[in-house]
Amino acid sequence: MSTDSTSTPKHRARKRFGQNFLTDPYIVAGIVAAISPQRDDHLVEIGPGLGVLTESLLPCVTAMDAIELDRDIIPKLQEHCRGRGQLHIHQADALKFDFAALAKDGRPLRIVGNLPYNISTPLMFHLLSMHQQIQDMHFMLQKEVVDRLAATPGGKDYGRLSVMMQYHCQVESLMDVPPEAFSPPPKVNSAVVRLVPYKEPPVSVGDIKLLEKLVTQAFSQRRKTLRNTLKPLMNAEQIEAQGVDPRRRAETVSLDEFAMLTNFVSANSVAKKSKAD
């Protein structure tokens, strides 16, 4: 998580890396309290920056890993954290990094990071592809993204990201963070979210890729009803047969209902194939 303090070596934030350094010690303390690290936890920090959060976490665990893209900041991070604990720094792009390889000792990963706004969504889904190795994730994100992650059916924030993330994780918005808590201040408000991957998803879906396709299709034109948006996959009569009014819009449809529609499309496709054979 990109952080800074008066004792930290100076480093100019780089726009191309999406760097905004957290400077508010109360926010740092709040994040550490939310994580509540235990001695044997395997912590992994994405984008530690200059290491103020890192220095607060290091003494709590036997060792931790950090993934940092900016090679120029790494010596400053090492200097700032020297003598505070065992820190393994990996100079890498988190979007391409194999986090599962860090969990070879059998301990699940506890991941924390201040994610650049432009890569936050693809990075979360990259991590969820390795959810078996992850205990939980605590991220600082754009508040708008956290609102979407935690949204419930019926509101303007509820969409594809809400449905798919809530299929994979328990989502909890923890705290809002104002722009003045950073240097330089971002032009948006931020928030901290906790994501806990489910061992078993809350709904039963036979084909996850089909769920993603159906949800994407349903939200492709938010103003249109399911009758229109889902036409490539199922007709109005089939939607209604699953107990869902085809005149509804996607933003009103729950995860349970999306799962039910997906399983119908999957079963119908199998039946058609068998008939054709």
CA–CA separation, 248 and 49 (whole Å): 46
The residues spanned by each domain of the chain are: 15-197, 208-276
Q: Tell me what pLDDT residue 272 has.
A: 65
Q: Tell me what pLDDT residue 133 has.
A: 96
CATH architecture group of domain 208-276 = Orthogonal Bundle (1.10)
pLDDT digits (tens, 9 = 90+) for 244-267: 999 999 999 999 999 999 999 999
pLDDT digits (tens, 9 = 90+) for 8-44: 445 454 444 445 778 899 999 999 999 999 999 999 9
CATH architecture group of domain 15-197 = 3-Layer(aba) Sandwich (3.40)
pLDDT digits (tens, 9 = 90+) for 196-208: 999 999 999 999 9
Going by C-alpha positions, the residue among 55, 59, 26 that lies closest to residue 177 is 26
Residue 273 has pLDDT above 70, yes or no: no
* Token code pair at residue 182: 């950073």
Which segments of the chain are extended strands (E)? 21-22, 42-46, 63-68, 86-91, 109-114, 134-142, 169-177, 182-183, 190-197
Averaged over 79-96, what is the pLDDT?
95
Q: Tell me what pLDDT residue 6 has.
A: 37
Residue 220 has pLDDT above 50, yes or no: yes
Q: Are 171 and 145 a contacting pair, CB within 8 Å?
A: no
At 187, the pLDDT band (50, 70, 90 cuts) reads confident
From the centroid of its chain, how far is CA 124? 4
At 234, the pLDDT band (50, 70, 90 cuts) reads very high
Residue 50 has pLDDT above 70, yes or no: yes
